[in-house]
């Protein structure tokens, strides 16, 4: 495959962004500097280095898994302070590079996608593709109709406005309520900040859907490999149509 596609699949960014690395002379294949974007490489056999660091080898079989991140676990593969993270749940895959798609903060839980396909991971997280994410948020106090209307409208935050695709009251238990909210962006602690801005205390936050993949009956700390149909839906949502990102339907 072409060098820019190979680097994109290894997680160095989109095909366009890695072109800059190649043109800048920062990429070597089997010891030789490569600046021609038409250069063909085999990621499984060729020795590729980027900015002096060896690139991981790409598995010949791209895979995507659904993982239920428990509350209290970091969405990273390593933590210098020794806190629990993704590496505690997934065995080492040797030199293969694996990506977590759609980070959740430490206090949140629910669906993460785990894949060795760097290009797919990059596209799923890129805001231009507007891949929908659905969360179940347990809040206090109970939101009335006016509050739900405000949550559904534009909320102004310090880093820019946000407007959900869909907001719905799912259930009420005493002073607590569960609200389902669907967004097409993944800014840092965005859901929590949106509810806080409207005077709600977030007691629990769980992502139950990402793109066309649902958490389903998956238990905390467990994972499952996606079906062929689920993987195909993810690819379809991030496949450009006529040179522009495809806008996904509300799920």
22/38 Cα distance (integer angstroms): 11
What amino acid positions are annotated as catalytic residues?
Answer: 105
Whether 9 contacts 58, CB under 8 Å: yes
49/72 Cα distance (integer angstroms): 35
Beta strand 133-140 with 201-210: parallel, antiparallel or unpaired? Answer: antiparallel
Whether 183 contacts 164, CB under 8 Å: yes
Whether 155 contacts 103, CB under 8 Å: no
Question: Helical H runs in 112-179?
Answer: 118-125, 145-152
Residue with tokens 């967004």: 183
Q: Residue 37 to residues 15, 23, 24, 60, 202: CA-CA distances in angstroms?
A: 10, 8, 11, 22, 48
Whether 218 contacts 224, CB under 8 Å: yes
Compute the CA torsion angle 122, 123, 125, 129 (nearest 10 deg): 160
Q: How many CB atoms lie within 10 A of CB 122?
A: 22
Q: Which of 202, 218, 221, 64 is nearest to 135 (CA)?
A: 202
């Amino acid at each position: 495959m072409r060098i820019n596609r190979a680097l994109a699949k290894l997680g160095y960014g989109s095909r366009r962004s890695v072109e800059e690395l190649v043109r800048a002379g920062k990429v070597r294949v089997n010891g030789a500097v490569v600046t021609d974007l038409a250069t063909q490489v085999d990621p499984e056999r060729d020795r590729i280095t980027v900015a002096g660091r060896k690139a991981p080898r790409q598995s010949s079989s791209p895979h995507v898994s659904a993982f239920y991140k428990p509350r209290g676990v970091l969405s990273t593969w390593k933590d210098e302070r020794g806190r629990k993270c993704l590496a505690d749940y997934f065995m080492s895959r040797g030199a293969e590079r694996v990506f977590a798609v759609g980070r959740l903060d430490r206090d949140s839980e629910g669906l993460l996608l785990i894949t060795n396909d760097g290009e797919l991971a990059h596209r799923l997280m890129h805001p231009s593709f507007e891949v929908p994410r659905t969360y179940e948020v347990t809040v206090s106090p109970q939101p009335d109709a006016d509050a739900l209307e405000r949550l559904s409208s534009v909320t102004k935050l310090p880093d820019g406005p946000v407007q959900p695709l869909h907001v719905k009251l799912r259930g009420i238990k005493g002073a607590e309520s569960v609200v389902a909210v669907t967004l097409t962006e993944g800014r840092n602690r965005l859901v929590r900040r949106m509810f806080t801005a409207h005077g709600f205390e977030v007691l629990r936050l769980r992502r139950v859907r990402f793109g066309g993949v649902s958490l389903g009956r998956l238990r905390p700390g467990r994972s499952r490999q996606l079906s062929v149909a689920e993987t195909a839906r993810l690819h379809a949502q991030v496949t450009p149509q006529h040179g522009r990102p495809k806008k996904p339907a509300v799920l």
